[in-house]
Amino acid sequence: MSPADGPGQAMAGLSSSDGFEMVSGWGGTPVTASLVVHPTAPDELVKAGLDAGPRGVIARGLGRAYGDAAMNAGGLVVDATRVSGVLDLDPTSGVVRALGGTSLDDLMRVSIPQGWFPPVTPGTRFVTLGGAIASDVHGKDHHAAGTFGCHVRSMVLALPDGSTRALDPESTPEEFWATCGGMGLTGTVVEATVAFRPIETSRIAVDTDRAPDLDHLLAMLTEGEARYRYSVAWIDLLARGRQLGRSVLYQGDFAPAGAIGPGRDPLAFDPPSLVPAPPAPSGLVNRWTMRAFNELWFRKEPKRRRGELQTITRFFYPLDMLDHWNRLYGPKGFLQWQCLVPFGREDLLRSVIESLSQGHVASFLAVLKRFGPANPGPLSFPVPGWTLALDMPAGDPALARLLARLDRDVADAGGRVYLAKDSCLHPDLVPKMYARLDEWRAVRERLDPDRRLVSDLARRLRLL
């Protein structure tokens, strides 16, 4: 967001840092202007929604949702990141209480040295607690741990009328689960209490395998499910023919204390400073540069390696090492598309990969994971199946038609796309993908009867 003064400055309760700003998702497209307020204390965050005009209000964390989930063109956006901090960490149970704007990075700097790791983490540590709950994020361990929401013990939600509600999965299950995955549209998370998992070291023992094609990959992921807590495959989407789906598979778990040599701090967590991504010319990411990149990545890994100790940053957050790597896609920005294909429809997964490969989609970030059971959240993305996620430069004129067809095929197969990553889904497909949408709407209506909570995503997909 880049600050610029605007008429909002005249509104009551605004501080000097509040005003009209340009806002976008992580993909950098589109960019729209909103009145953005920056509360710095929990009570300010709770009252922030009262300033919502006819275009409504939505909370925003660190802006890592790729599309328009944390955007509200012409309306009010509440930046929750300044209401942050760890309030309590029980060193014996690992239960952490923190404010909603606290980043996973900040949480880990406190928790890891005490032997506690977030129960679930997405592929970047620059997300807030509120953002992790609102998207009900998943990690490389969904088959073992479920989503982030599964580990939230309780939370305090601010409603747009200035009141708060305490939610937990036992006494308010409907509101709690409508909020986990509810994309900020049930209220703003002011604070939450989350059970972290114990670790003996901050290193992950990683097994690496190259899979020559899709069949081998799916077999290896299925076989490894019971043995590995974390698994993720990087797929070369430009490979075709017999090599279709060739991948590098990384699987592992935190190493035990004995794996770390003497004299080294087993729970050290000191991520390297971020290196800024260089300004990129338009078109840097294209099918030729990506083909070269993918070939190098595939070849750099051994066919098989066992027990390599990797740092948390390298294993979980390789992209975080480059600050604002999203700029590499140039001024036209990029899209992310993440789908879920149910088990038993591996034929569709293959045809999706074929379509992307034939469409020469230039992606250097295609990952495949295996999801376990769903949780009770009506809009929570993960359900049993395969999930494929990839980035694509937004400038490709053929992309809209390709993604429209893939979205339809995925919906017809009983699959869905991830709302936190979406930019171009057709609204008619949403009730098909998320069959419990009406159930969610009914709970949301109770929490926000005046429909003040709204985002560009909600308008585009007719969620409300």
Q: Which residues bind ligand FAD (CB under 6 A)?
A: 26, 58-65, 69-70, 80, 100, 122-124, 127-128, 130-132, 134-135, 137-139, 183-184, 188-189, 319, 420, 455
Least gap, CB of 150 to ligand FAD (angstroms) = 13
Least gap, CB of 155 to ligand FAD (angstroms) = 9
Least gap, CB of 319 to ligand FAD (angstroms) = 5
- For residues 260 and 455, which CB has a smaller minimum distance to ligand FAD in the complex? 455
Least gap, CB of 377 to ligand FAD (angstroms) = 12
Helix axis angle, 214-224 relative to 346-358, nearest 10°?
130
- For residues 266 and 384, which CB has a smaller minimum distance to ligand FAD in the complex? 384
How far apart (Å, rounded) are the C-alpha atoms in residues 142 and 225? 10
- For residues 112 and 137, which CB has a smaller minimum distance to ligand FAD in the complex? 137
- For residues 36 and 218, which CB has a smaller minimum distance to ligand FAD in the complex? 36
Least gap, CB of 50 to ligand FAD (angstroms) = 16
- For residues 52 and 62, which CB has a smaller minimum distance to ligand FAD in the complex? 62
> Buried b / exposed e across 156-172, counting CB within 10 Å, b at 16+?
bbbbbeeebbebebeeb
Least gap, CB of 101 to ligand FAD (angstroms) = 6
- For residues 41 and 398, which CB has a smaller minimum distance to ligand FAD in the complex? 41
- For residues 158 and 362, which CB has a smaller minimum distance to ligand FAD in the complex? 158
Least gap, CB of 259 to ligand FAD (angstroms) = 25
Helix (H), strand (E), coil (C) string for the chain: CEEECCHHHHCCCCCCCCEEEEEECCCCCCEEEEEEECCCCHHHHHHHHHHCCCCCEEEECCCCCCCCCCCCCCCEEEECCCCCCEEEECCCCCEEEEECCCEHHHHHHHHHHHCEECCCCCCCCCCEHHHHHHCCCCCCCHHHHCCHHHHEEEEEEECCCCCEEEECCCCCHHHHHHHCCCCCCCCEEEEEEEECEECCCCEEEEEEEEECCHHHHHHHHHHHCCCCCEEEEEECCCCCHHHCCCEEEEEEEECCHHHCCCCCCCCCCCCCCCEECCCCCCCCCCHHHHHHHHHHHHHHCCCEEEEEEEEHHHHHCHHHHEECHHHHHCCCCEEEEEEEEECCCHHHHHHHHHHHHHCCCCCCCCEEEEECCCCCCCCCCCCCEEEEEEEEECCCCCHHHHHHHHHHHHHHCCCEECCCCCCCCCHHHHHHHCCCHHHHHHHHHHHCCCCCECCHHHHHCCCC
- For residues 240 and 441, which CB has a smaller minimum distance to ligand FAD in the complex? 441
Least gap, CB of 230 to ligand FAD (angstroms) = 11
- For residues 132 and 403, which CB has a smaller minimum distance to ligand FAD in the complex? 132
- For residues 60 and 460, which CB has a smaller minimum distance to ligand FAD in the complex? 60
Least gap, CB of 46 to ligand FAD (angstroms) = 11
Least gap, CB of 187 to ligand FAD (angstroms) = 7
